[in-house]
Structure 1
Amino acid sequence: MALILFFSLFTGVNKAKAQADLNVNADGAILVDGKTGRVLYEKNADTPLGIASMTKMMTEYMLLDAIKKGKVSWDQTYTVDDEVYKMSQDRSLSNVPLRQGGQYNVKELYQAVAIYSADAAAIALAEIMGGSETNFVKMMNAEAEKLGLKHYKFVNASGLNNADYKGMQPSVGGPTDENLMSTRDVATLAFHLINDFPEVLQTSSIPKMTFRQGTKDAINMPNWNWMLPSLVYGYQGMDGLKTGHTDFAGYCFTGTAERDGKRFITVVQNAKDANGKGGYSARFSETRKMLDYAFSNYSKQQIFPKHYEIKGNKTVPVINGKSSQVEVYTNSALSMLAQSGEKQDLKPVIVLDKSKVNSKGELTAPVKKGEKVGYLMLESKNGDKLSFVTPEGEKKAQVDVVASQDVDKANWFVLMMKGIGHFFSNVWHKIFH
């Protein structure tokens, strides 16, 4: 809990500039700082849209979480049931054929999902974690709520249209339903995935792998992310994350790239070219547009130095102390990705910790030097906060505010005299008013 002590703002010029410069041709698009989740550009970011196989990011997130918690292991085996077998044989979908009754370990199923977007493998992972895909889909929706997503609907674990299940779809949605998420929610999921489980990038960055190499079931798995550096739309620093396509969703892509310590996340949904036509090229060219803009215009800048004191708010009042106030400053520098010139437009906001102050914003002595009393954040001049996809990311763009000196508690005599003074002050106030 926090109390806003001082409200200052910065102009929205830079975000407006990005909105004008980036005319991304997609139904939904977003550009996010991959380390703080600050939103740098957005277009129609809160409308639920089709996500197709970008769905599998949730399946991956939940698997990596289950492995971390010891609920599932990489070498755990899965026996293919009739439904997964039938789905895996449909080569009109993205699949690695699985043998009926065959056994596969979690690691190879995960690789098939993360690299080749294998649909039946995703359903197999859902059955491993949830017992059934229907139950797992319920878990997916619960996890989405837990992650703070706002506009979503999961009806299966693969991202297919339920019609592609040929009557074998989970009993969560209708026979032709598809998964939906807003662009902001897709970016939020991607932010959680790469920050909570950065190891996902070790797999998503593999351009090609052979499934069941060395056996007669071996099959090449080229990565659908053709922006990986060695592939046809190669982009320097690209190492993830997930493509998607159905007739309903159009061509979708969640990308992430890192250069020189800067990482960005992009999402496009139903991307189209200049002629209004969707396709592989469209989703990658619109992604490139955002990444080029981000890497060219943003750099890490120190906005405020260590021990920074805010003009007009250098002190916080103290009660029951030898001093009636204490000087405060930041305990570290505040740095963030910013555009050229943006630093001059940024002004601070001090937020005091409610557990440390009373309703009047006063600290109670004793106060120790270095004691945290709140934090410093940034807000815009038009009254809007900087936009972040998660509260956790927002905290990375804040620094603690601490007391710069000790304030000892006053002795009993001083406190008594202050009390008497306040008493007579109130008496005289009532007499003359």
Structure 2
Amino acid sequence: MNVRKYIQHSFILSLVLFLLVATLFHPKSASAATNDPLKINAKAAILVDVNSGKILYAKNIDEMLPPASMTKMMTEYLVQKSVADGKLKWDTTFRVSQKASDLSHNTDFSGVSLRTDYDYTVKSLYEALAIFSSNAAAVALAEKISGSETEFVKLMNKTAKDLGMDDAKFINSSGLDNVDLGDAIAAGGPNDSNMVSARSLAKLAYHIVTDYPQALEVSSIPEKDFIGGPGEKQHMTNYNYMLPGFGDNMREYKYPGVDGLKTGFTDAAGECFTGTVKQGNRRFISVVMHTESESARFLETKKLYDYGFKQTSDQSILKKGASIKDKKSLPVVKGKQDHVDIEVKDAVTLPIDNSDKGKYKTVLHLDKSLLNKDGELTAPVKKGQKVGYITLENTGDHNYGYLYNAPKIDVVAKEDVQKSNWFVLTLRSIGHFISGIFTGAVDLVKGWF
């Protein structure tokens, strides 16, 4: 190698080493490395506090991914809604279609075996769906509600929009990939899958827990028998190994207070889990998508729950009746008093990372329609009258926002301010007029000198 080539190669090697070192120690790389403090080994994950809707942890929560059998949560939600609306009864019996029966006998899929000549109750099929992840039960219930699974898919997507799951795209009630369904495809192309984000799955879980909490009575059942026909008893074991009801063989996964919700697996989706846990008056919802193994989906969820219960706590941000910093009162015109004290209507408590304690600031938003051009209220003002609201800004390091809207806390008048009578108002007007003339005269005299 001649000297020139040696110098060229040395320069290139030095440049590569420089770029490598610069990349490793660049501030952006450092921030990216600390972006996931819990080191959750999943493509996407979220932890939500149910009481406030506050997101406590987020990783790729808007990435669209196949949810596998977590899709069945939407089917569960719509069954619960149909019962609540009086369109179905839990003890209603019906026979399943050939499509559902054929699907139930496919040994590649989870679920119970169903017959076309036997009457099943809505409740028994719902239990097979929620406990044993029965694909055929999902189809049977979808057909019962909408007449066909294809029509039910339309209802699923409409409901998703209603719940704020704007990115969700459902093509069937079970969560199976169309490539595996063959002639049983309900919607979409031959290679399509249901697609949804972790954020949207958390919204769905939130509505199951808050709208139909009785759903947890079923999702928390670890084991139960299913009657598939005369003398046909099938034992169902819940795929949610975090449930406390399991024996010591599941000790590694069990977590106190877990009572739902739904696992999932397909080759495309990987191992997934949407869970919920309650301890004391605190309840969390979690989602992990595309973990590496069946074990990992529970162990990664445990990390989320440990963080929620051990490293965050419910902290008082504002007390009921608290004054607003830097704005304790508002000016009032035409009243017996020239101002009115204002206060926070309700107390605010939020789950906060312990390192973020005290790192919230309040922002006052006054109702401009109540104020004149000088920023004054006009009497009369009633005690408790809303004059605006407060929003909260997290100035700490753990600001992931809310599942839906950030809280707005009403700000109200602390007391009545009655309107002055016409005589007092007239005197004030005269006084203001004379004062204006005097001020003008003074200014004029000053101008002469």
Query: Under TM normalisation by the shorter chain, which class is it?
Result: 0.7 to 0.9
Over 3 Å counting, the alpha-carbon distance change for 1:72 and 1:27 in structure 2 is same
Corresponding residue for residue 133 of structure 1: 149
Q: Answer yes or no: is the 8 Å Cα contact 2:112–2:234 preserved in 1.
A: yes
Q: Does 1:24 align with 2:34?
A: no
Q: Report the CA distance between 1:247 and its aligned residue.
A: 0.7
Q: Report the CA distance between 1:177 and its aligned residue.
A: 1.1
Q: Answer yes or no: is the 8 Å Cα contact 1:367–1:408 preserved in 2.
A: yes
Q: Answer yes or no: is the 8 Å Cα contact 1:78–1:124 preserved in 2.
A: no
Within 5 Å, which residues of 2 pair with 1:83-102?
83-102=99-118
Q: Does 1:155 align with 2:171?
A: yes
Q: Report the CA distance between 1:17 and its aligned residue.
A: 11
Corresponding residue for residue 53 of structure 2: 37
Over residues 248-288 of structure 1, what are the superposed CA-to-partner deviations in whole Å (9 max), with x where a residue is unaligned?
A: 111111111111221111111101xxxxxx21011111111
Over 3 Å counting, the alpha-carbon distance change for 1:347 and 1:102 in structure 2 is same
CA distance in 1, matches of 2:122, 2:372: 54
Q: 2:265 aligns with which of 245, 255, 270?
A: 245
Q: Answer yes or no: is the 8 Å Cα contact 1:183–1:269 preserved in 2.
A: yes
Corresponding residue for residue 71 of structure 1: 87
Unaligned runs of 5+ in 2: 1-31, 445-449
Structure 2 letter corresponding to 1:208? E
Q: Does 1:226 align with 2:236?
A: no
Q: Report the CA distance between 1:130 and its aligned residue.
A: 1.1
Q: Report the CA distance between 1:144 and its aligned residue.
A: 0.6
Corresponding residue for residue 262 of structure 1: 282
CA distance in 2, matches of 1:343, 1:415: 49
Q: Answer yes or no: is the 8 Å Cα contact 1:378–1:385 preserved in 2.
A: no
CA distance in 1, matches of 2:373, 2:84: 43
Corresponding residue for residue 4 of structure 1: none
Q: Report the CA distance between 1:330 and its aligned residue.
A: 1.9
Over 3 Å counting, the alpha-carbon distance change for 1:323 and 1:344 in structure 2 is same
CA distance in 2, matches of 1:356, 1:386: 33
**3-state DSSP class of the match of 1:347?**
strand
CA distance in 1, matches of 2:410, 2:33: 30
Structure 2 letter corresponding to 1:299? S
Q: Answer yes or no: is the 8 Å Cα contact 2:362–2:392 preserved in 1.
A: yes
Structure 2 letter corresponding to 1:245? F
Q: 1:340 aligns with which of 335, 342, 354?
A: 354
Q: Report the CA distance between 1:102 and its aligned residue.
A: 2.2
Q: Answer yes or no: is the 8 Å Cα contact 1:329–1:402 preserved in 2.
A: yes
CA distance in 2, matches of 1:127, 1:89: 18
CA distance in 1, matches of 2:378, 2:418: 10
CA distance in 1, matches of 2:179, 2:36: 40
Over 3 Å counting, the alpha-carbon distance change for 1:164 and 1:362 in structure 2 is farther
Over 3 Å counting, the alpha-carbon distance change for 1:120 and 1:428 in structure 2 is farther
TM-score (ref. length: structure 2): 0.83
Q: Report the CA distance between 1:198 and its aligned residue.
A: 1.0
Q: Does 1:192 align with 2:207?
A: yes
RMSD: 2.9
**3-state DSSP class of the match of 2:254?**
coil
Within 5 Å, which residues of 2 pair with 1:370-389?
370-381=384-395, 387-389=401-403
Corresponding residue for residue 175 of structure 1: 190
CA distance in 1, matches of 2:88, 2:393: 43
Q: Does 1:211 align with 2:226?
A: yes
Structure 1 letter corresponding to 2:343? Y
Aligned residues: 406
Q: Report the CA distance between 1:296 and its aligned residue.
A: 0.5
Q: Answer yes or no: is the 8 Å Cα contact 2:362–2:390 preserved in 1.
A: yes
Q: Report the CA distance between 1:385 and its aligned residue.
A: 7.6
Q: Answer yes or no: is the 8 Å Cα contact 1:19–1:42 preserved in 2.
A: no
Over residues 153-202 of structure 1, what are the superposed CA-to-partner deviations in whole Å (9 max), with x where a residue is unaligned?
A: 100011001123221211x3112211111111111111111011111111
Over residues 205-256 of structure 1, what are the superposed CA-to-partner deviations in whole Å (9 max), with x where a residue is unaligned?
A: 1101111289522111100101111331211111111111111111111111
Over residues 324-358 of structure 1, what are the superposed CA-to-partner deviations in whole Å (9 max), with x where a residue is unaligned?
A: 32111123322121222433111222334566556
Identify the structure with the greater helix proportion.
2
Structure possessing the higher relative contact order (Cα contacts under 8 Å, 6 or more residues apart): 1
Unaligned runs of 5+ in 1: 1-15, 272-277
CA distance in 2, matches of 1:287, 1:358: 53
Q: Answer yes or no: is the 8 Å Cα contact 2:131–2:219 preserved in 1.
A: yes
TM-score (ref. length: structure 1): 0.86
Corresponding residue for residue 112 of structure 1: 128
